[in-house]
Amino acid sequence: MSRGAMVERLLPSDDPIAEDVLEWTIKRDSKDIKQLMRWMETTEIRRDRQVLLNRAMDLMDEIQYALNRLSELR
């Protein structure tokens, strides 16, 4: 961890509850994306692959939002 990151983390969050929720969301969405990609490996139906990909992309958008909010809180 860089010195700047250490100092930054010592400062209290503007909203610790929101920070916890955002961290949980990132972890949950990451696990869900992994599962969607495993399912994509096993399906050969194009339409099903597209549905899985669209859902994974929605989750990635949610992760991006959560990362941006965390940056604002920290």
3-state helix/strand/coil string of 54-69: HHHHHHHHHHHHHHHH
Q: Which residue has the tokens 């809180």?
A: 73
Write out pLDDT tens, residues 15-29. 889 999 999 999 999
Residue 13 has pLDDT above 90, yes or no: no
What percentage of the chain carries pLDDT values higher than 90?
A: 73
Q: Please tell me the predicted confidence (pLDDT) of residue 5.
A: 43
Average pLDDT, the chain: 87
Contact at 8 Å (CB) between 37 and 59? no
CA 19/CA 74 separation, integer angstroms: 9
Check: pTM over 0.85? Answer yes or no.
no
Of 8 and 42, more confident: 42
